[in-house]
Chains A and B, each alone.
Chain A
Amino acid sequence: MRKIISMAVAIAAGLGLAGAAATGALAAEKLKVAWVYIGPVGDFGWTYQHDQGRKAVEKEFGDKVETTYVENVPEGPDAERVIEQLARAGNKLIFTTSFGYMEPTLKVAKRNPKVFFEHATGYKRDKNVSTYNSKFHEGRYILGQIAAKTSKTGTIGYIASFPIPEVISGINALMLGAQSVNPDIKVKIVWANSWFDPAKEADAAKALIDQGADVISQHTDSPAAMQAAEQRGVKAFGQASDMINFGPHAQLTSIVDNWAPYYIERVKEVMDGTWKSTDTWSGMKDGEVVMAPYTNMPDDVKAFAQATEAKIKSGELNPFKGPIYDQSGKLVVKEGDVLPDKDILSMNWYVKGIDDKVPGK
């Protein structure tokens, strides 16, 4: 008897689960979708672009969705509560957009099996937790090529945030791109130890310019470095958003984060009941990494950059295709091989030619 009852409960629960997925398809009920942001939506960087993606979802689905977000959620003990609250408020799909939300997302997901979660930049998944990220390094390879063709001093300045694999692989991709044009190119790296501190980013840009860099690349979020470059009359690359407004004479191009296609796709899958736990790492081909218009450069450089962009999109060119040597001169990727994704995602070594040490190593 007990067994039968528990079986009945299990079946009911199973039906309930299916039902929950199915209700999304009913036009009568709005699908509630939520985002958790690490910064303010007004940062004009990382969080701003995720919020643009959220707005694209609203625009695409109109009345069929109801979106909400919580901004400025610190990584740490508060994140779990916010995510849980969002799940309890009836959100069926929750995007958590910072690496530090990984464990909290997984914990909340275990308690809320009927809710789907999407964690950006992490590597742990579950039945109802997907991960997603962008291949920003594809864009950085192009930046490297443009920089090497543009720089007169032969020195590229690089403002880095924190030594995590995404930033390291970005530096390496830029260097490999630059070396493909000029093997003697130099990269100077300054760690801001912050994702967002406009004045410090501006200081870092000025320091790099003073030390002879005439093309500035940044992996921090504010347009301060772009403005500093504009002021000093050197060139720069934007980050996250198209920053041409801040550097009308300085910006060569920007790597624009475009989360809209991914967000729209995933929301649609929940509506159709086809959502599955996946690991998505999209790049330029999928329109997730977008290059802002190539500006302030000679036509031949522009054509060169566009050609590289086309090759990356077609898959003909992979920034991490061998031969690649590390700083000690050891061959890491053989001629013809490409570096496996998991090695890019956990990268903590520099390629040959970078005159610096990976922090913390």
Chain B
Amino acid sequence: MPLRLERQENVSGLRLALAPLLALVFTLIVGAIMFVVLGHDPIRAFGIYFVGPLLDPYTLQELVVKAGPLLMIGTGLAFCYRANRWNIGAEGQYVAGAVVGSWLALVTHGTDAGPWVLPAMLVMGALGGALWGLIPAFLRVRFGSSEILTSLMLVYVAQLGLDYLVRGPWKDPDGFNFPQSVTFDANAVMPLLMDEGRLHGGIILALVAVVVATFVLGRTLVGYSIEIGGSAPRAAAFAGFDERRVTYGVFAVSGALAGLAGIIEVAGPIGNLQPSISPGYGFTAIIAAMLGRLHPVGIVVASLVLALTYIGGEAAQISMRLPFDVTRVFQGTLLIAILAADVMVRYRVRRVEGTSHA
């Protein structure tokens, strides 16, 4: 086909802003076809999906609550991915952080330990996540093992470890032997920001992380060494950047942020430790990081959009009785549209004379 994609050297802000619009139009077209085929009113479906959640103050809060862990984990992953370190085990680091942080909440349970408990839990959560993240980093540096695989395998190990703890030693003694810990004391719970709803202090920490990450990645030598280590490792070595230190560093940061997100979620919306504490945040955050083009601010936007697709999907199930699978198809379509639109604005499709290899 004599068509060719050409990279636009200087993409204007206007064109970049056009991407989401283009994606929306594409999704609306494909989505409309899908809804009509399945026998649903497309206009109503779109309204429930995209507009409804943005009008209700309650769902707006929920949007932020859901996006919080995504953007925090995604921001950490941006460090890894910019350095070309493929940490896909954030879900495990999230669980590890939640477990380590919760330990403190459980040992201080019922002791009136004072207001230091929550901050200490957050620190321990971040440490737990960082340590879990450092395992694949160590295996890579020491043995050259692929971090993609080891970090993914460690997800399952962390989940089974949590499972063991809440069904065994950490089980609530008054809980009829059901697999969950005691409910955390007040001094081990994230403070709420509003009288109504679930908006909690964790979102402030997430935003702080985004600001700091934007600065570190964009304006400091550390950020530069990560970037160059990822894109041009040889040049980085010449410039004196230690590849191993970069590996440890980015895994520690992304592990810490994932762990922090884990302990915040447990000490916030959940309130105790139980076998399932994440609806796949660690994996969804990978999509958020990619859609956000590895830029913290972009990741914030991407996380909010992803959160909207989940909440809109639930709303569509509730008010239109759409099966979950329809919302999954729609979410997949939307993601595909966003990805495609992103390319469309940054590249130009051009007709090429004659045949070309491609």
Contact = CB atoms under 8 A, between A and B. Distances in A.
B103 to A, nearest CB: 17
A86 interface: yes
Interface string B250-280: 0000000000000001001111101111111
Contact of B265 (A77, A100, A123, A346): A77
Interface stretch (A3-11, A158-166, A249-257): A158-166
A153 interface: no
B318 A75 contact: no
A162 B179 contact: yes
Interface in A280-322: none
Given A34-B318, A70-B314, A359 B167 contact: yes
Interface residues of A, number: 40
A193 B176 contact: no
Contacts of B344: none
A103 interface: yes
Contacts of A100: 180, 274-276
A85 B176 contact: no
B278 A85 contact: no
Contact of A71 (B58, B176, B277, B323): B323
A164 B318 contact: no
A203 interface: no
B276 A85 contact: no
Contact of B318 (A86, A99, A123, A360): A86
A200 B76 CA distance: 35
A279 interface: no
Contacts of A163: 167
Contacts, number: 102
Nearest to B170: A360
Interface in A27-71: 34, 40-41, 68-71
B331 to A, nearest CB: 12
Interface string A239-282: 00000000000000000000000000000000000000000000
B272 A103 contact: yes
A348 B58 CA distance: 41
Contacts of B293: none
Contact of B177 (A74, A75, A78, A348): A348
Contacts of A34: 318
Given A100-B274, A162-B179, A165-B177, A71 B279 contact: no
Given A99-B178, A165-B176, A342-B176, 5 more contacts: A70-B324, A77-B268, A78-B66, A80-B198, A89-B318
Interface of B: 56, 58-59, 62, 65-66, 160, 163-164, 167-169, 171, 176-180, 183, 196, 198, 265, 268-272, 274-280, 310-311, 314-315, 317-319, 321, 323-325
